[in-house]
Amino acid sequence: MEIITETDYRDRMEKEVVPFLKKHRHSGFFCPDNGQDKIYYESYRKEDAKGVIAMVHGFSESAEKYVEMIYYFFQAGYQVYIMDQRGHGRSARGQEDLSLVHIDRFEQYLSDLDYLATEVADREDKGLPRYLYAHSMGGGIGAAFMEWHPSVFEGAVLSSPMIRPLTGGIPLGIARGIAEIQVMLGKGATYVPGHHAYRGDETFETSAATSAERYEYYAGKRRSQPNFQTNGASYSWLREAARMSKYILNKENCGKIVGKVLVFQAEQEDYVDKGAQEIFTGQVKSARMVPMPGTKHEIYMSDDSHMRVYVEEILDFLEK
């Protein structure tokens, strides 16, 4: 697979990738569990596809950030489905503050993914094998989903998965306790300490990417579109992230996973617990860890040399 190089990245994305995908993109909304909350999704369908890939983005991201990866998967012969997760992008929000990432129960994330994979994708591409690609928070959701609903996906790629979030040196159990108290006090939709509304002062140097071109391409969209400016977690989100982590790392739950799982681990990781990734991988018999030296949390926004390794490893895994 030829990757889009940093040398002419923006030019090729705007003149080649985006117009190509636009021809194949269908977008719309679905309402899981017959509810009122609308979840935005995109699908990229093609004739003679070899399989379906459902993509789940990470904390404070959107489907728009994954245009390059969508392009690779589609070019490799897969149908692609991706949604803006609940509380992100163009999907339903539980509050007016577009910067706040908020959720009442992490099971809502699982329900949304279930609907995307078993209702939307299955209705349009019935009979094709289904695979999962998920990053960070999406990787945690993907891991929990594979335990909760093991028969849906034949394989999963978890990129820097949030098996356990990092909480600034405070043990997760204590952080969860604090969050529980704040939720009981009616402050569940309040920013946790250290988190705040989007200010537009992010820089590549402090980012989770190692490719300035890839970073700036999405950062520009984020600066100009308020729906892409999700930025900080609520106390309720923190409580649910801790609950989800406990669920994922339960040894019995890990034993329920039957599909093959590929776990990518960034060397310079500042957002999620690498030790928890290793525990999870060790407890899932069908899982394999792929360390990625020289990368940061957003491995899919790495420099060209690492992107080649990353994309080829993923496509080889899916082929096998």
Res 17 pLDDT > 80: yes
Cα(288)–Cα(285) distance, integer angstroms? 8
Res 56 pLDDT > 80: yes
Token reading at 97: 């503050």
Query: Nearest-5° angle of CA 205, CA 165, CA 214?
Result: 30
Q: What domains does the chain contain, in order, with CATH numbers?
A: 6-319 (3.40.50.1820)
The pLDDT tens digits for 115-162 are: 999 999 877 777 899 999 999 999 999 999 999 999 999 999 999 999
CB count, 10 Å around CB of 256?
Answer: 13
The pLDDT tens digits for 60-88 are: 999 999 999 999 999 999 999 999 999 99
Token reading at 286: 């069908």
The pLDDT tens digits for 286-309 are: 999 999 999 999 999 999 999 999
Query: What sign for the dihedral angle of Cα 294, 135, 29, 26?
Result: positive
pLDDT at 125: 75
pTM for this predicted structure: 0.97
